[in-house]
Chains A and B, each alone.
Chain A
Amino acid sequence: MQLWNLLKQVFSRPLGCISATVLLSLYAAAVCANFLAPYSTNEQDLTRTYHPPTQIIWGEGGLRVQAYALVDPTEARYAPIAGQSYPLKLWSRGFEYKILGLFTSDRHLFTVADPGGRVYLLGSDSTGRDVFSRLVFGARVSLFIGLLGISITTIIGFLVGGLSGYFGGRLDFWAMRVVEFMMAMPGLYLLLALRSALAPHFASDQMFFVIVVMLALIGWAGTARVLRGMTLAIRQNQYVMAAESMGQHPLVILRKHVLPNLLSYLLVAATLSIPGYVLGEAALSFLGLGIQEPSASWGLMLSQAQDVKVFYLNFWWLLTPGAAIFITVIAYNVLGDVLRDLVDPKLKKRI
């Protein structure tokens, strides 16, 4: 119930409301990617590479997509053909996909029925793939790696931090030395070293999980330390000491007394750490060491934008995945700040 209260309070604050809404919509978009995206991630169109975003206009009683002609193939320059456009259909049929692996559907939010037309909300990339579709599918990877990673980290961090804070003594001492050791290493360097050690043993489609594991392994130390401090504080409480003297098993005490008090702090810590994971995955994929083709991820899309001709010929839409990462990170940061202020303003110094 504490959580529910917390959520209500978050939404009552303007910043909290905005950031939470942004995040929820991003995740919703990722889940419904198949529905939102007019094209699949790998649908190429070699006659429309580096196409700018198509204009949406109103005409003939409905939404229409402007048609373009290739004016200069040597520069990939397109110009709108005056008066020619394709009707944009909503709730229409497109490529087939499976919902939850069970039901097949081919409905999409919007498509262009005419086979000669294309709707590129955010332009197309070097092989004519729709950037908007890839962005939406990429959200699945980039956003869920964060959630998955943080769950693993929080579990490890809680176990290590909670147990060492509760039992104290030698366990605490050595656990904290290990934590300090982990925190003494620059994250990205270690990530790269881990990656070059682990990657050759796994196939490319297992990379998603390998990355999650790597990020979790690097991130748990900070969480563990904070949780240990808090467990120490909670342990001093009378009801905990009472439970101990009653002979309750330590793990039971941890679960029934320590954990509920920690939950809100856990939430804050998690929210403020997720951006690190999103950025970690983006950095790895950007370097070509993370998610690889055919999957789309925001970092991978950005690496494909790192081409000199993109800069000189002004294909700005290829940089939109960066904006997506930015929005996600800033939303998480704002939400995390709001949560932290709500839970305990004194936390500002510690987390």
Chain B
Amino acid sequence: MGSKFDGKCSKMIGVLSGALAVFWATSCNQPAKIERPEVIVAPVPVDALQVEFASGEFGANIIETMAGDIATVNPLVNESAAGSLVIGRILDSLTTLDTNTGEVIPNLAKSWEISADNLQYTFYLRKGVHWSDGHPFTADDVLFTWSTFFAKKIDSLTGAVACDANGQPQYRYNSRSTFGQRINGREPQLEKIDDHTVRFTTPEVYAPFLLFGGGVELLPRHILNSAFEDGTLMDQWSVETAINQPWQIVGLNMFVLESYRPGERMVFAKNPNYWKVNPAGQRLPYVNRVITKIVQDVNSSNVAFAQGLTDFESIAPDNVAWVKRGQARFDYQVLDLGPSNSTNFLWFNLNPGQNEQGQPYVAAHKLEWFADARFRQAISYGINRPGIIRGVYFDRADILHGYVSPKRKFWYNPAVRKYDYLPQRSRSLFLEMGFEYRDGRLFDTQSRPVTFSLMTNSNNGLRVEMATVFKENMASLGIQVDLQFLDFNTIVSKISAAYEYEACMLGLGGGAPDPYAGKDILMTGGRMHFWNPQQLKPATAWEARIDELMRKIGRHTDVALRKSYFFEVQSILAEQQPLIFLVSPKDYTGFSNRWHNIAATPLGGVRWNTESLWAEPNK
């Protein structure tokens, strides 16, 4: 062997060892260890809640995946589902829902009294509870949290409260809660009785106050007060904080954020000051850490679970079949939890306004079509929902005839107008509107071809397929639909800020069982009043009627009365179809068999009692 060949050999070895070195260098690419302050662990609270599940071992870790990333950890700013999930792990509230019965039960408030006139709610807070950094939790924190919603903007020149064009006071920190916690436009009053007692006075009878008011996520006064005073509250607890100083995000729930790498992973550590204990009096949770890997989409998430890599997963309906195949091999289970809270719907942009250049958001002639209820009804009759369930969802979904999913058996109005797949009815409705068919294409009263564009988010495969089916359904009605598949954030900015689109297909998940939960969507001025967000006055008579009914629902406590109002809301919605509902996928959840104390409920899944879940700590 000549020297040159040795040279080649050594070149090869050089390259390979170089590669090895690169491996090593890239794998050692860990962030610097974060210097965090010493955590003070307070003693177990006097009023600690003792759970009923059998005691278990400490020390296991939960490994899970999350599709989508957070944009902020500030509950006043957050608008994404991922953000709600993360914030909900760290912050806690006065009351919560019993996942078995659906009733409101005590959480951080150990009990409450409601006055005879239903206007005053006195909450008694648990004594001895401390925040995750060891600072004591008192009524001051509750007052502080509510003050962030309703703090007024002070005009720096006059020193008085600033008002907008309509004479309404302007708020300093205009968050979702600012609108959401107002009762019929007025603010509830709050006073501190003592360090562990607060009293709310609602301006009028407001039935769901225990749920919505009590469900507010409490903020730590000792951390956020200075930002509140100097006006930078909305900038706090941003992604930068989560990356560099996660210990600033202090809460009362069972986990705290230990570290965050955007687009990669989040690690939660257990809150050493959590206020629930097991029957043996030991502080919960059993779980040491929750490691959340951020993945692209639901499919990657399901794949990871199906390979036995994660502990808990919500399985998409079209993936259930093959995920179930791995149950024996990877030792997990997939449960069918019945109808879910998720909805899918589409709507037409009814915003009559103009953009900065003076161009209307929706072309005038199209707005005319969209604004006619018969048009929307005709579209609804032309959608093949059973076909979508069969073909796209593999039969694992339910038809949504209206706003309320069949899961909510109590509030569900079975008598609403239903839109079965009846393209003939669509055609007759179009003819009734004065439209005509030529050569199979639909033309309006001015002989313009009926066409519109529909946007939906590209990272939801099932929704993309539904949009494709919708397009074909419309094509057979003679309407041309242009599909636009956009990034989710782009869509959110279009529907809540830019308003320049014609139709959109989206979905919502979650939502509390009380009918008043929908007020953000159903009432005029709500941020989620998709077809015309943040409008100042109802544009139509039926929107005004819905506003009135929703107010009544809020005002009365008699359940039968509320139910009758809500039934009427549903039938108006079904008649007018501002939101054309499509299908609701069923709920499937998977979990690894190594977890003990699993108690699945339809309302809470398997993770509602995470503090009581334990596994052998070998992972």
Contacts and interface: CB of A to CB of B under 8 A. Distances in A.
Contact between chain A and chain B defined by CB under 8 Å: yes
A127 interface: yes
A309 B318 contact: yes
A103 interface: no
Contacts of B391: 44-49, 126-128
A49 B471 contact: no
A344 interface: no
B485 A75 contact: no
B603 interface: no
A224 B394 CA distance: 54
Interface in B387-445: 387-388, 390-392, 394-396
A288 B465 contact: no
Given A46-B387, A47-B387, A307-B299, A127 B321 contact: no
A62 interface: no
B302 interface: yes
A47 B421 CA distance: 14
B461 interface: yes
Contacts of B322: 75, 309, 312-313
A204 interface: yes
B472 A127 contact: yes
A73 B395 contact: yes
Contacts, number: 74
B336 to A, nearest CB: 11
Contacts of B394: 73-76
B388 A46 contact: yes
A293 interface: yes
B469 A292 contact: no
A74 B396 CA distance: 7
A98 to B, nearest CB: 13
B260 to A, nearest CB: 27
A48 B300 CA distance: 26
A76 B299 CA distance: 18
A72 to B, nearest CB: 8
A288 B387 CA distance: 25
B323 to A, nearest CB: 8
A55 interface: no
Contacts of B302: 308
Interface string A24-48: 0000000000000000001011111
Nearest to A77: B321
A308 B468 contact: no
Interface string B453-478: 00000100100010011011001000
Interface string A138-174: 0000000000000000000000000000000000000
A299 to B, nearest CB: 15
A294 interface: yes
A259 to B, nearest CB: 44
Contact of A42 (B325, B396, B475, B485): B475
Given A308-B302, A313-B322, A293 B483 contact: yes
Contact of B390 (A73, A126, A204): A73
Nearest to A42: B472
B139 interface: no
3 nearest A-B residue pairs (beta carbon): A46-B387, A46-B391, A312-B322
Given A44-B391, A73-B390, A128-B391, 18 more contacts: A44-B387, A46-B388, A46-B390, A47-B390, A72-B321, A73-B394, A73-B395, A74-B320, A74-B394, A126-B391, A126-B392, A126-B465, A127-B391, A127-B472, A307-B461, A308-B300, A309-B299, A312-B306
10 contacts: A44-B472, A46-B392, A47-B387, A73-B394, A126-B391, A127-B469, A288-B458, A307-B299, A308-B302, A312-B322
Interface of B: 299-300, 302-303, 306, 318-322, 325, 384, 386-388, 390-392, 394-396, 458, 461, 465, 468-469, 471-472, 475, 482-483, 485
Interface of A: 42, 44-49, 72-76, 126-128, 204, 288, 292-294, 307-309, 312-313
